[in-house]
Amino acid sequence: MKNFVKTNKGITLIALVITIIVLLILAGVTIATLTGDNGILTKATEASENTKKANAEEQVGLAVAGSRGTDGNIEMNNLNDNLRNIENLTYNNEEISSDETNRIKELPAIVNVDGYDILISEDGNTEEYVDTTEKVEDETPGILAGNGTSSNPYKIESIEDLVKFSQEVRNGNNYSGKYVRLEKNLNFDSFNSYVNYNKVYTEFENNGDINSDGIAESIKKEVTTGSGFIPIGTNYENAFAGTFQGNGKKISNIYININKEVNGTIYAGLFSYSRGTIEELTISGNISVINTGTNYNSNVYIGGIAGAIKYATVKKCANECEIYAEATNSVALGGIVGSSYDYGNTGSGTRTILDCANKGTLRAKGDTFTDIGGIIGQNYYSGKVNYSYNIGNIIIENNAGGVRVGGIVGETGQPYSQITYCYNSGNIDVKGDTVYSIGGIAGDSDGTTNIVNCYNIGNTTGNTIQNYGGIVGFISQSSSGEINMCYNNGKINLQKEGVIGGIVGTYSYSNAKCYVNNCKYSIEYPAAGKTYEDITIDAEFLDAENMPSILEIVNNSSKYKMKEGFLYPVLYWE
C-alpha cells in the first residue's frame, strides 16, 4: 500500500508539472523560453544554486566573525567550535572533531558546506573556492608507489610525493636504473594538488620545516613561502641518475627562492643536477637564486628543468618559469638547463637537449662571468641542442665582467658541441654597461661547434655590446666547425655600437676555422663585423623583396613547417 501511495504521488507531481507546462505553452510561452540557456526554469535553477552558495558562504563568514578575539585575531579553537555547529559542514571530507583528530590548525583552509567549497583566507575573508586542477588521489603521500621498473615505475601522485622524492635524491638515492613517473598535473598554488595541504609533515626533513624559516608549518605554506621547494638533488655526487617520465604533465607555479652565502656553486631548477633522463615535462612558476658568497667559486648554475647535466638527456620538455640568477662570481642560466660543464667533473659522454622549448623570461647578474642561453647557458663536452626553440625574453643586468648571451646557447664548444634545427624569437635587453658578446643563436663559440639549420628573428636593445652577431657573437681563436644554412633577421638597437655582423660578430684570430656557408641575413651590416682574409664566409645580405622564404634557407630534411597563425616556420613537433 505504501509503495502504491508513493507511486501515485509521483504520478500526480509529474502530471502537475506537465499541466503547468501545457498551460504556459497555451499562453504562448515556448519550450525554449522555459528550458533554454535563458529560460525560466534554467534561471530559477541558477537562482536556487546561487542562494545555496550564498547561504553556505554566509554561515562560514558568521562562524569566522564569531571566532575573533578582543584583539581582532581569529582564535582557532573558537573557529573550529563555531564551524562544528554548521550542518553538513566537512573539513578534509570529515566532520570537524572536538579533539585534535580533524581540526583546522592554520589558515587558509577550505571547508565544504552542502557540496560547496568555501575558502577561509588567512585574514578571515570567505568566498566560494573553485579549482580547475584535478584533485590528487594518493593513499600514501610521501611514499612513492611502484617498484621503479619501466612497466611499473615509481609514481609521483601528489606534491607530498614530489617533496619526498627530492629529499631522497639529495640524501643519496640517485634512482640509477630506475623509472619515476609523474601521474598528474601538479599545481603548487592549488589545494587540490596536496593530499592534505594543511598538514605539518614532521616526517619530512627538518621535522617539517622544509623552507628552513625556523617554523614547521603546513606543507602548502612550506613550499610556497620562504625558500620554497627544495630542488631535486644537490650536485654531481647527489644527482638524479634514473629516468624521470613527465608523462606529458605539467608542474605549475613552482616556487624556489634561494638567497644565501655559498663559497661554491648553487645548482637549481626543478632538478639541481641530472645524470639521467628527464622527458615530457612542462614547468611554470618562479625560480630565483642569489649566491652572496665572497670568493671566485661563488657561482649559480640554474635552469627551469635542471641546473646542470652530465651524461644526461633532456627531451620534450618546456619551461614557462620566470628565472632570476645572481652571483658574486659567475652565472650559467638557461631556460631548460644551466650548464653541461662542471668544474672538476668534465669527462666524456654526451649531454643532449632535444625537442625542448623555453617560454619564460630569463634575468641574470654576475660580477665576473655570465652565460645565458634561451635553452642552455653553457653547452660543453659533446653537448647537443637539437630541434629546440626559445621565445622567452632575456634581460642582462651586469655592470662588469664578461657576459655571453645567445638566443639558444650562451657559450658553446669546449671541445665539441652542436646546435641544429633551433630558432630564437625572444628579445635580448642589455641593462648593464657592457656586454661582451651576443648572438641570435650562440653568444660565444669556443672549440669545435657546428651550428646548422638555425634562424634568429629576436631583437637586441640596450647599452654597449662589444661583439654582436645575428647567429654567433664571438668566435674564439680555438674555434672550428661550421655555421651552415642559417638565417638572421634580428634587429639591433644600441646606445653605443661595438662590432656588429649579420651572421658573426668577431673572429678573434686568423686561426679560428669556423666556416660560414649558405647563410642569409637582412640587417645592413657586413656578414662578419671583424674577420681575417683567410676566413671563408659564404653569407649574403638580401632585402625583404629578394629574400627567399626561411623554409628555403633552413629547412633541410623537413624539420621545420609552416603553421596556421604563424609568420615564421615552427619545428616539426610543434
Instruction: In whole angstroms, give the CA distance from residue 126 to residue 79.
Output: 13
Please give the pLDDT value at position 297. 86
Residue 30: what pLDDT?
A: 60
**For the segment 364-401, what is each residue's pLDDT rounded down to a tens digit?**
987 777 899 999 999 987 789 999 999 999 999 865 66
Average pLDDT over residues 531-535: 67
343 has pLDDT over 70? no
- The answer to whether the predicted template modeling score (pTM) of the entire model surpasses 0.85 is yes
User: Does residue 232 contact residue 220 with C-beta atoms inside 8 Å?
Assistant: no
Per the CB < 8 A criterion, the answer to whether 307 and 231 are in contact is yes
CB-based contacts of 363: which residues, under 8 Å, 6+ apart? Answer: 322, 323, 324, 325, 394, 395, 396, 397
Task: Calculate mean pLDDT across residues 12-38.
Answer: 62
Q: How confident is the model at residue 285 (pLDDT cuts 50, 70, 90)?
A: very high
The pLDDT of residue 1 is 37
Give the cell for residue 160: 607530498
pLDDT in tens, 70-90: 999 999 999 999 999 999 999
**Candidate ranges 5-19, 285-299, 332-346, 485-499; pick with highest mean pLDDT:** 285-299
Q: How far is CA 362 from CA 365, 437, 472, 494, 525, in A?
A: 11, 17, 19, 20, 28
Mean pLDDT in the chain?
Answer: 88
Give percent above pLDDT 90 in the chain. 66
| Highest-pLDDT range among 102-106, 284-288, 479-483 | 284-288
Residue 6 has what pLDDT? Answer: 39
Higher pLDDT, 513 or 205: 205
Winning range, highest mean pLDDT, from 286-290, 398-402, 433-437 = 286-290
Q: What is the DSSP string of 368-394?
A: SEEEEESSEEEEESSEEEES-EE-S-E
470-490 pLDDT, tens digit per residue, is 999 998 866 678 899 999 999
